[in-house]
């Protein structure tokens, strides 16, 4: 269900942008999703095929670029990717981080005819 509402938002946004550009057909939608965003690409594609049927986005390819999780250590500013659920800094072993990447969920661009 989560992916269903996300897919609806994707379709709405893509159609809005395509109409603004007077396009006749959307051929590809380029998306960027972070590992922490919880978005499952396969589910989005599944729903997209259903809900885009009678729109100019029917048959469009969805391209997903996955952004890995990266975090910044509060103490030494090192940017690292947590491994095996260990979020402490590999450099100074401090705890306390800010998430830098991994939460993304945005539409980079659409390709239209």
Partner 1 sequence: MAIKVIKVGEDILGANEETARTNKQKLDKDRVFTINIMSSPGAGKTSVILSTINKLKDRIKMAVIEGDVASSVDAEKVEAMGIPVIQINTAGGCHLDANMVESALNGLPLEETDLLFIENVGNLICPNAFSLGEDRRIMISSMPEGDDKPQKYPAMFADTDVILLNKTDLQPYLDFNFDVFKKTVTNLNSDVTIFLISCKTGEGMEAWFSWLEGEVGKKKDQAA
Question: Which run of H or of E encompasses 34?
Answer: strand 26-34
Confirm or reject binding of residue 37 to partner 1 (CB under 8 A). yes
Return the range that interacts with partner 1 (CB under 8 A); candidates 46-54, 56-64, 87-95.
87-95
- Comparing CB distances to partner 1, the nearer of 51 and 99 is 99
Among 66, 97, 100, 101, binds partner 1 (CB under 8 A): 97
Which residues 6+ apart lie within 8 Å of 57 measured at CB?
A: 11, 14, 15, 18, 26, 29, 48
* CA pair distance 74, 36, nearest whole angstrom: 20
- What are the phi and psi torsion angles at 63 (to 5°)? -110, 130
Among 49, 70, 87, 100, binds partner 1 (CB under 8 A): 87
Confirm or reject binding of residue 17 to partner 1 (CB under 8 A). yes
Confirm or reject binding of residue 31 to partner 1 (CB under 8 A). yes
Confirm or reject binding of residue 81 to partner 1 (CB under 8 A). no
Confirm or reject binding of residue 106 to partner 1 (CB under 8 A). yes
Q: Are 29 and 41 in contact (CB under 8 A)?
A: no
């Amino acid at each position: 269900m989560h992916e269903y509402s996300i897919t609806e938002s994707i379709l709405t946004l893509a159609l809005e942008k395509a109409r603004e550009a007077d396009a006749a057909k959307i051929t590809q939608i380029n998306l960027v999703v972070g590992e922490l965003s919880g978005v499952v690409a396969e589910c989005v594609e599944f729903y997209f095929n259903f809900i885009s049927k009678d729109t100019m986005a029917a048959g469009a390819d969805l391209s997903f670029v996955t952004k890995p999780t990266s975090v910044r250590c509060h103490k030494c500013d090192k940017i690292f990717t947590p491994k095996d659920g260990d979020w402490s800094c590999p450099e100074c072993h401090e705890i306390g981080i800010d998430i830098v990447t991994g939460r993304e969920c945005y539409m980079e661009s659409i390709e239209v005819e």
